[in-house]
């Protein structure tokens, strides 16, 4: 998955789907709490605007991005909080407009970049298509928070294949976040598309540790939007069983995550 020809169009489509959830929201709805402690719907949109702004800057002005990243290393969370406050200051509708603008700029910049090269990012440079896949994970995850706050049941698409690919290739982040040494052995993953038309497989078929289930549930797991007890993702092997409890597709602290039964089917 994550074919260069698809990921940019799919990122746009994922963004449009989440943006549609915001149509017609009144002031009270913008301030509804989301499952992320302390964050409202408006916070989620402001965060997406900020992340897309970073991606757009990375693709279009690498020097400016490098300067920002160097400053942020001395107090990353403070830099994030300051940016979030800035995006929120003009009000939620302005934050939504800014998110639309920054998403379009990020997609255009990444698509125009050298697809065989890399663009700078917060820890390591990434191929443009991989950064777009990371953007897909951001939009999916924070979009899920928005949908949960609004009581909307999402209709998932096979775009989630990008998230399956990304979640598999960031397997070790969960170990690193918990101060654990990732196993050297690869896992085998079998993840079924929402359409049922295909199953995405990763890793050696003969692997002892295996993870199987719906790709949507896998994406909800690695984005920490659902507790693994509430999902149909299954593990075989002790290492895979352990991984279900620590899985995350982003660096740094995993946060509180969700509790068992919070979103039980």
For position 254, what pLDDT does the model report? Answer: 77
Which residues face 79 on adjacent strands? Answer: none
Global pTM reads: 0.94
Whether residues 136 and 202 share a domain: the answer is no
Whether residues 40 and 129 share a domain: the answer is yes
Q: Mean pLDDT throughout 120-148?
A: 96
For position 255, what pLDDT does the model report? Answer: 80
For position 98, what pLDDT does the model report? Answer: 96
| Count of domains forming the chain | 2
What distance in Å separates the CA atoms of residue 42 and residue 21, rounded to the nearest whole number?
12
Residue 119: both structure tokens together: 């663009």
Whether residues 194 and 228 share a domain: the answer is yes
For the stretch 13-39, pLDDT in tens is 999 999 999 999 999 999 999 999 999
**Phi and psi at residue 145, in whole multiples of 5°?**
-60, -40
Q: What is the domain-level CATH number for residue 36?
A: 1.20.120.450
Whether residues 110 and 207 share a domain: the answer is no
Helices (H), the chain: 4-20, 27-30, 41-60, 62-72, 76-89, 92-112, 128-150, 160-169, 172-177, 215-222, 238-244
Whether residues 50 and 134 share a domain: the answer is yes
What distance in Å separates the CA atoms of residue 127 and residue 117, rounded to the nearest whole number?
6
191 within domain boundaries? yes
Whether residues 180 and 112 share a domain: the answer is no
For the stretch 156-183, pLDDT in tens is 999 999 999 999 999 999 999 999 999 9
For position 5, what pLDDT does the model report? Answer: 55
Range(s) of the domain holding residue 166:
160-244
For the stretch 182-220, pLDDT in tens is 999 999 999 999 999 999 999 999 999 999 999 999 999
Q: 234 and 209 in contact (C-beta within 8 Å)?
A: no
Tell me which residue has tokens 């020809």: 5
Which residues face 189 on adjacent strands? Answer: 202, 211
250 within domain boundaries? no
For the stretch 74-109, pLDDT in tens is 777 788 888 889 999 999 999 999 999 999 999 999
Whether residues 24 and 146 share a domain: the answer is yes
- pLDDT(1) > 70: no
For the stretch 242-263, pLDDT in tens is 999 999 999 888 787 899 999 9
260 within domain boundaries? no
37 within domain boundaries? yes
The mean of the pLDDT values for the chain is 94
70 within domain boundaries? yes
Q: What is the domain-level CATH number for residue 169?
A: 3.30.1050
């Amino acid at each position: 998955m994550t074919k260069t020809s698809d990921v940019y169009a799919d990122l746009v489509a994922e963004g449009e789907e989440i943006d549609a959830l915001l149509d017609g929201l009144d002031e009270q709805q913008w301030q509804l709490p989301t499952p992320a402690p302390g964050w409202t719907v408006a916070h989620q949109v402001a965060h997406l605007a900020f992340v897309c702004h970073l991606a757009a800057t990375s693709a279009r002005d690498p020097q400016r991005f490098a300067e920002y990243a160097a400053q942020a290393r001395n107090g990353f969370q403070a830099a994030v909080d300051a940016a979030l406050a800035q995006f929120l200051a003009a009000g939620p509708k302005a934050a939504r407009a800014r998110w639309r603008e920054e998403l379009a700029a990020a997609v255009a910049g990444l698509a125009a970049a050298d697809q065989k090269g890399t663009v700078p990012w917060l820890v390591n440079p990434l191929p443009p298509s991989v950064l777009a896949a990371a953007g897909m994970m951001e939009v999916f995850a924070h979009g899920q928070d928005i949908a949960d706050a609004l009581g909307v049941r999402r209709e998932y698409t096979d775009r989630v294949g990008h998230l399956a690919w990304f979640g598999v290739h960031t397997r070790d982040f969960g170990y690193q976040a918990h101060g654990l040494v990732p196993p050297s052995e690869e896992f085998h993953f079998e993840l079924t598309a929402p359409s049922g038309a295909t199953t995405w497989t990763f890793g050696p078929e003969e692997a002892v540790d295996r993870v199987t289930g719906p790709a949507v549930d896998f994406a909800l797991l690695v984005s920490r939007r659902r507790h693994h007890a509430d999902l149909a993702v299954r593990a075989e092997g002790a290492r895979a069983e352990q991984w279900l409890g620590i899985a995350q597709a982003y660096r740094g602290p995993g946060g509180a995550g969700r509790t068992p039964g919070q979103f039980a089917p």
